[in-house]
Amino acid sequence: MEAPMQRWNEWVEAANYAFKRGAFSEAVELYSGAAAMAGDFHAVIPAAERAKLYANRSFAYHKTGDYVRACKDAETAVMTDPTFIKGWFRLGTALNSLRLPDEAVVAFRTAAVLEPQNADVQNSLAGAKQQQQQARGIALPPHLRHLRADVAAAERARGTALYKAADWKGAFAAYAAAAELAPRVAAYPANVAAAALMLGQFRVAAERAAQAAELDPGFVRAHARAGKACLCMGKYEQASAHYARAVELDSGNAALRSEAAAVTTVRSHVEQGTALLDSDARTAQWHGDCAARACQPPPEPAQLLRVQALLAQSRFAEAVAEGRELRREGDTSAPEVLALRASALYGCGNLDLAMRCYVEALRRDPDCAAAARGLKRLRALTAAKEAGNAAFKAGAWAEAHAQYSAALAHNSPGSGNSAFMAQCACNRAATCMKLGRHADALADAEAAVAADAGYAKGYLRRALAHQAIGGLDSLEEAVRDFERVKQMEPEMPDIGGLLREASTALKKAKRVDYYALLEVDACANEAEIKKAYKRVALKYHPDKVPSEERNEAERKFKQVGAAVAILSDASKRQRYDAGWSEEEIEQGCQAGCGGFRGTHSEHMEDLLASMFGGGMGGGGGFPGGGFPSGGFPGGRGGFGGRARG
């Protein structure tokens, strides 16, 4: 078989060459020779190649002005391979030249279904439609009528195969082509309606099913599909009317009666759920689920109710996922749908995409109130945050605080956008810190971490606010938050230093404040400490207080001794000021520090001996009725006899 195929290819190549040279009559003769060989070797030459041959000869005939033969060859091409777009294009071109625009539109539209993005096809279709407006009512030749019916049947068969394979788009295109080719056959628009239902194109499904029912008023499936399409759009009255007609035509069909009953079920659940959105969103969602299960595909009102209920529960990520399938009369880009989708995106913090949805909704419908409100709020809060950032950078703390407050006020409760709101609250906390309003800073930081539990900077602000407030409890909270931030973001600048600083402050807070105990400032000099010690030691001496206060006085008296032992020694005092505990200080000074030596009791006895001349009048409190005489070790009183660091 190689030789015949080779000769056929040679004829085709010669014909193509003649066509390119503009020798159209010669090309016709050569294509005709190849066509004769194709007839002889039909089983060898593929159908696609034969269709291409006839389409090429059609074009050659068209160039010679023989439009009738051009039309006939194009018909043969599409009969040989109904999916050959160039065959349909050549047929449309020939029909246009024969001044048959209605038929040309059908041919070009079929080509457009096969290849929607083909610019040549779309332009030719537009031209044929223009001619169609100028010449109406021209009858189709009998041989073309037969061809159209055959091709329509083939397209329907192709659509049915695709429908069974769950290729709804392919089935829709094939059924639509069949309906265009045979517009008076009720089954074809009914098929289109079935595919449109599966695609969620409910308005198209309702229109095509109604068209089928008009062509054949007794067509039960047409009425049923029209009913389902109307139900899916929430047009309950129309749905009931279509189903009533279908049941009237086929009263024994139990499945049909069940579909008809679904209208009442869906409507009841949607109405009950909608009424509960503000008070019980969870139950409202349950009603939406029930309505969605009552009909397949799920009705639009049921899906709408589900998304609204999820939004009311602040389940924004789920609302975004559900919103992707949301439609209004089959349109996924209807203004109401876009506005609701934008609300879900806003709740998730995707402000850029939310703004684009709002803008597109208003472009489609400038009167869409939900989109207008949402866009106004979104622009206002983003502008306020940007103004707050600018004021903060300029050091205008009060202005920054006011702008961040405005941004927070624009976010209505329950509308989500937690990450953005956490940032605004955190930024306002920073301005409060700058203004010295530490309690307000803490409240804003608390709000930030409540809005976004994963926001490390919120915990950082809360830690800084706790640290600024001070006190044992606040410092413990500060250390915990700094540790949390370090765990969340180990690479955050200065977090290690901040944690160490807070830990040191906490250790200091847990110790006895020796400066406060001695009632002196932290920068008091040696003489001031000595003077304070004499005064406070006398104040807490057990012999100088009533018996019921003696236990507390003894405790304080010992602390006073510890205080003077540490603060009178430069090395120990330096460690104390650095946050060391008393135990750490003593362990660090085992090798010897300046100032007093020995135990705290010895220090107190030494100093008190010098203060009171060897005794306290024989009173109780210490064995022997007072302190041993002799002053400080080495016979030197006061602080001057020992080195200080």
Query: For residue range 493-522, what is the model confidence (pLDDT) as tens digits?
Result: 888 999 988 888 888 777 777 788 778 888
- Alpha carbon separation from 561 to 603, 607, 633 (Å, rounded): 7, 10, 16
Average pLDDT over residues 17-44: 81
Say yes or no to pLDDT of 523 above 70: yes
pLDDT of the residue at 39? 66
CA 339 to centroid of chain Cα atoms: 15
Say yes or no to pLDDT of 386 above 90: yes
- Alpha carbon separation from 174 to 171, 283, 533 (Å, rounded): 5, 43, 103
* CA proximity to 395, closest of 423, 429, 435: 435
Contact call for residues 121 and 84 (beta carbons, < 8 A): no
Query: Per-residue confidence at 602, pLDDT binned at 50, 70, 90?
Result: very low
Measured distance CA(542)–CA(557) in Å, rounded: 8
Q: Give all domains of the chain, ordered by start, each with its CATH number.
A: 2-211 (1.25.40.10), 417-510 (1.25.40.10), 514-600 (1.10.287.110)
pLDDT of the residue at 324? 87
Contact call for residues 631 and 637 (beta carbons, < 8 A): yes
Average pLDDT over residues 252-261: 92
Q: Which two tokens stand for residue 35?
A: 């066509």
Arithmetic mean of pLDDT over the chain: 83
CA count, 13 A, side-chain hemisphere, 99: 5
Q: Choose between 560 and 630: higher pLDDT.
A: 560
The terminus-to-terminus CA distance of the chain in angstroms comes to 113
CA 487 to centroid of chain Cα atoms: 26
**Residue 209 burial by CB count (10 A; 0-12/13-18/19+): exposed, middle or buried?**
buried
Classified as helix, coil or strand, 82 is coil
Q: Helices (DSSP H) in 65-186: which residue ranges?
A: 67-80, 85-97, 101-114, 119-134, 142-164, 168-181
pLDDT of the residue at 384? 94
pLDDT tens digits, 562-584: 778 878 888 888 887 777 777 77
- The DSSP code for 328 is B
- Alpha carbon separation from 608 to 74, 446, 627 (Å, rounded): 125, 52, 7
Measured distance CA(26)–CA(193) in Å, rounded: 49
Contact call for residues 492 and 461 (beta carbons, < 8 A): no
Measured distance CA(301)–CA(380) in Å, rounded: 31
Residue corresponding to tokens 């230093």: 497
Say yes or no to pLDDT of 232 above 60: yes
- The DSSP code for 398 is H
pLDDT tens digits, 276-295: 999 999 999 999 999 999 99
- Alpha carbon separation from 194 to 207, 224, 230, 333 (Å, rounded): 11, 10, 13, 22
Q: Which two tokens stand for residue 252?
A: 């024994």
For the ranges 136-140, 361-365, 509-513, the lowest mean pLDDT is seen at 136-140
pLDDT tens digits, 60-110: 999 988 888 899 999 988 888 888 889 999 999 998 888 788 788 888 888
Above pLDDT 90, what percent of the chain? Answer: 44
Encode burial over 263-300: b for 16+ CB neighbours within 10 A, e otherwise: beebbebbebbbebbeeebeebbbbbbbbbebbebbbb
For the ranges 22-26, 100-104, 384-388, the lowest mean pLDDT is seen at 100-104
Measured distance CA(41)–CA(5) in Å, rounded: 8
Encode burial over 35-56: b for 16+ CB neighbours within 10 A, e otherwise: bebbeeeeeebeeebbbbbbbb
Please provide the size of the chain in residues. 645
Say yes or no to pLDDT of 609 above 50: no
Report pTM. Answer: 0.59
Q: Which two tokens stand for residue 140?
A: 């189709």
Say yes or no to pLDDT of 604 above 70: no
pLDDT tens digits, 433-461: 999 999 999 999 999 999 888 999 999 99
pLDDT of the residue at 277? 92
pLDDT of the residue at 573? 83
Q: Which two tokens stand for residue 275?
A: 């009424």
Measured distance CA(7)–CA(1) in Å, rounded: 10
Average pLDDT over residues 224-240: 95
Contact call for residues 209 and 190 (beta carbons, < 8 A): yes
Contact call for residues 388 and 400 (beta carbons, < 8 A): yes
pLDDT of the residue at 588? 66
Say yes or no to pLDDT of 227 above 70: yes
Report whether the peptide linkage leading into residue 297 is cis, meaning its omega lies within 30 degrees of zero. Answer: yes
Say yes or no to pLDDT of 643 above 80: no
CA count, 13 A, side-chain hemisphere, 440: 13
Measured distance CA(575)–CA(588) in Å, rounded: 9
pLDDT of the residue at 42? 59
pLDDT of the residue at 146? 65
Long-range residue pairs from 77-83, CB within 8 A, at least 24 positions apart, any chain: 77/51, 77/52, 78/51, 78/147, 78/151, 79/147, 79/150, 79/151, 80/47, 80/50, 80/51, 80/54, 81/47, 81/48, 81/50, 81/51, 82/151, 82/154, 82/155, 82/158, 83/114
Contact call for residues 495 and 546 (beta carbons, < 8 A): no
Average pLDDT over residues 133-158: 68
Which of 146-150, 333-337, 412-416, 511-515 is predicted most confidently?
333-337
CA count, 13 A, side-chain hemisphere, 586: 10
**Residue 97 burial by CB count (10 A; 0-12/13-18/19+): exposed, middle or buried?**
middle
